Structure 1
Amino acid sequence: MPAPRTVLLTGAAGGLGTLMRGLLPAYGYDLRLFDAVPVEGEPYAITADLADTDALREAVRGVDAVLHLAGISLESTFEKILNANIVGTHNLYEAARAEGVARIVNASSNHAVGRTPRPADGEPLVPVATPHRPDTFYGLSKCFGEDLAQLYWDKHRMQTVSVRIGSCFEEPTTVRMLSLWMSPADGARLFHAALTAEGVGHTVVYGSSANTRLWWDLSPARALGYAPQDDSEPFAAKLIAEQGELEPDNPDHAAIGGQWVSSPPLWPR
């Protein structure tokens, strides 16, 4: 499909949204910004909650696609996760359906499969077809988002690429993150591929750079046209010296979700 020009970016004031606000315009996108809080330096951004269905209808009207990054990005109570990540995402899909938006790129998460054991050296990479195994209410909400996207493709022919994002920061901050890190530049490359690839139906991909210590299979993302350029390995020596290698017998190291599996998940993604 031709590259969409106007893209609604939800969660535009958040960490990932802020990174993409700076990077995606270089790919030719005119970003329409949406967040529950004001977007600094963007007086024309739409300030509204995902519960505001009228504001959502207005926000999606006339756009070519949506990059949906809004919602709670850490663990919280079920009620808060329900309202922001589950009901809110449904509200967005309904608004997009009503306004005839053909493509959504939905921020899923590695925490949708967070209790999946991380592969040991020499074991196969984790495929996108691995069953949902959420590690938190947050991860559960991302399972819902993937299944909602499948429903809207099957029922309404709305196309979605669900991106199971690892950790998108300027640089990795933990040893675990060496396997999941997605550089901001690679994040923009992946979102661009997801916005422009043809015939995606509902496609689930993992979102990370081409890390030497990669745990999951990036081939479905590459099939969209994603060509990652970065690798977390230059950061490895410093992080391992500070934190030590991951230990298979440590519950915080045994699964993809890391500390989110066994501890209060206030940690980086």
Structure 2
Amino acid sequence: MHRLLITGAAGGLGRVMREKLRPLAEIIRLSDIADLGDAAPHEEIMPCDLGDEAAVLKLVEGCDGIVHLGGVSVEQTFDKILNGNIKGVYNLYEAARAHGMPRIVFASSNHTIGFYRQDEYLTPDMPMKPDGLYGVSKCFGEAMASLYHSKFGQETAIVRIGSCFAEPVNHRMLSTWMSHDDFADLIRRCFLVPRLGCPIVWGVSDNDGKWWDNSAASFLGWKPKANSESFREGLDARMTPPAADHPNAIWQGGMFTLDPIHKD
């Protein structure tokens, strides 16, 4: 690609992908409402509030691909989620439609299905069961991606990210963890495959205890290499596994299932 846009580039995952996706494009356009620091020679810095339709339209102009990591990434008040995750997704898809429909990798979440139990093995076509307003906003984003694909042919990889960190930080993440390298490789495959469509892809490494069936996305040629089992012994040494009646041992969304509906 000539120019790849990464939204949410100042976030934890955005900072990592800023470096790992460098080989994908001649120019990486980075956007966030937070400080992005100085641009490297191959970078463009374009701060943008995703709720600002005109600003998002300008942001997407000239881009050949989009990795959409932007928006609110935790449970928050509805107004905050509305601006970044609902208005922002609408603005992004309208801007993409106006500028030739560059392929999008949309960072969805396991919290779209957080109220499934951990003893249930999921395929992408199973009904959503969000565990909070954040999860609902990602359900909305998935619906927008589907709509724009059906109506206009806009291609999107909907990636339901589990837990993308350097390593799992609790026992629930032994099932949901995706390594940074596996995520970067998944993004690469989404842009390289000749025809993408609008698949739902489970964003998870090759963990022994994973809860999600990714066989429907095998056409991408993505083969995650990491396995969370290498971290189990260290986790066991640092903490006790959750009790059987704890949300982190019952629900796929873990503690998100206990979050209240925030009013302030």
| Fold shared by both chains (TM-score > 0.5) | yes
For the residue of structure 1 that corresponds to 2:157, the secondary structure is strand
How many angstroms does 1:29 deviate by? 5.4
Q: After TM superposition, list the pairs within 5 Å mapping 1:1-269 onto structure 2.
A: 4-28=1-25, 30-42=27-39, 44-119=44-119, 125-263=121-259
For residues 220 and 28 of structure 1, do their structure 2 counterparts lie closer, same or farther at Cα, with a shift above 3 Å needed?
A: farther
For the residue of structure 2 that corresponds to 1:89, the secondary structure is helix
Check the 8 A contact 2:63/2:102 in 1, yes or no: no
How many angstroms does 1:117 deviate by? 1.1
Aligned amino acid, residue 197 of structure 1: V
CA distance in 2, matches of 1:194, 1:174: 29
Q: TM-score, normalised by structure 2?
A: 0.92
Q: Deviations over 1:140-199 (max 9, x none)?
A: 000000000000011111011100001111111010011111111111001111222232
Check the 8 A contact 2:111/2:134 in 1, yes or no: yes
Check the 8 A contact 1:13/1:38 in 2, yes or no: yes
Q: Deviations over 1:64-112 (max 9, x none)?
A: 1111000000000111111110111100110110111231110000000
How many angstroms does 1:247 deviate by? 4.2
CA distance in 1, matches of 2:170, 2:164: 12
Give the number of equivalent residue pairs: 259
For the residue of structure 1 that corresponds to 2:163, the secondary structure is coil
CA distance in 2, matches of 1:141, 1:263: 15
Q: Structure 1 runs of 4+ off > 4 angstroms?
A: none
Aligned amino acid, residue 87 of structure 1: K
How many angstroms does 1:246 deviate by? 4.4
CA distance in 1, matches of 2:91, 2:142: 15
How many angstroms does 1:263 deviate by? 4.1
CA distance in 2, matches of 1:162, 1:80: 22
For the residue of structure 2 that corresponds to 1:32, the secondary structure is strand
Q: Deviations over 1:33-88 (max 9, x none)?
A: 11112212327400110122222222211211111000000000111111110111
For the aligned residues, what is the CA RMSD?
A: 1.9
More moved, 108-117 vs 55-64: 55-64
CA distance in 1, matches of 2:77, 2:148: 27
How many angstroms does 1:248 deviate by? 4.0
Q: TM-score, normalised by structure 1?
A: 0.90
Gaps in structure 1 of 5+ consecutive residues: none
CA distance in 1, matches of 2:205, 2:51: 33
CA distance in 1, matches of 2:219, 2:118: 23
Work out the percentage of aligned pairs sharing the same amino acid.
Answer: 44
Check the 8 A contact 1:167/1:181 in 2, yes or no: yes
CA distance in 1, matches of 2:57, 2:25: 24
